[in-house]
Amino acid sequence: MADESFLNPMPRVIAHRGDSKHYPENTLEAFCSAVAMGIDVVETDVHLSKDGVLVIWHDPTLERNTNGKGTVESHTLEELKALDAGYTFTKDGGKTYPFRAKGVRMCTLEEALTECPKQRFNVDLKSKNTKIVDEFIRVVRKHGAQNRVVGASFHLKNLKLLRKKAPEILTSITTAEVVNLLLRQKLHMLPKAFSRKIIFQVPIRQAGINVITPAFVKDMKKRGAVVMVWTINDEKTMRYLFSIGVDSVMTDDPALVIKVAEDMNIR
């Protein structure tokens, strides 16, 4: 069984790509703001650069958030570091770009773990290339961060490799595994207990199916699972999810979810 210190105390509030409401997402500036607020977990994403470095970024391409073009993985770290990661950030529909040309850069996972040495991170391995698994394990172990990092991915092959090669690092479960457990729950065919720690990271509704229901949360938590829901930005929904027993809410507005959790006396 992997060390579960990531889950102790249970994370209630998760900053989606850092404090992405106030700072360019997935940058050190966004992470440090979330840490200063007292967020439980920072959710982020990594790609492999052309020269094999784990670079924090969500999209496979650069156009949405930078002044660059093309894919992350077709650029070296040096090339990525030359881009303006605050280039497109705006809070007023494009009237102003407060972080443009202010030195905001893309960062590596190593830099994030170093800059935020006590912060828990949830890291989504975006690349299909299985080399990302080995580099992720290397970086996490190098920084002694096994107890504060959870690995996630939409690529089941990568998660299976991560679990096999580094069983001390907790992982979430991916879409295919969620669907299987959701179906078994609907058919009342769940085992009495799970053989390992199950961490759900799911939306309320996906592909026309209601994933998060009071019965689902009750059944999964009774078996020791952890239920995290993304990406929720309104207070009413946050309160509802916590009220039915959801463990963690992931949001672009970490200050709001912290307020809700504290108002409800669950952190």
Tokens of 190: 């769940």
- The predicted structure's pLDDT at residue 157: 96
Q: Is the pLDDT of residue 3 over 60?
A: no
Q: How many CB atoms lie within 10 A of CB 248?
A: 27
146, 169 Cβ separation under 8 angstroms? yes
* Residue tagged 């930078």 (tokens): 66
Between CA 241 and CA 37 the distance in angstroms is: 21
In the chain, at which residue ranges do the beta strands (DSSP E only) sit? 13-16, 41-48, 54-56, 120-125, 149-152, 170-171, 199-202, 205-206, 209-210, 226-229, 248-251
- The predicted structure's pLDDT at residue 1: 39
Write the pLDDT tens digit of every residue in 59-103.
999 999 999 999 999 999 999 999 999 999 999 999 999 999 999
Tokens of 216: 């689902």
199, 172 Cβ separation under 8 angstroms? yes
57, 83 Cβ separation under 8 angstroms? no
Write the pLDDT tens digit of every residue in 177-222.
999 999 999 999 999 999 889 999 999 998 788 999 999 999 999 9
- The predicted structure's pLDDT at residue 91: 95
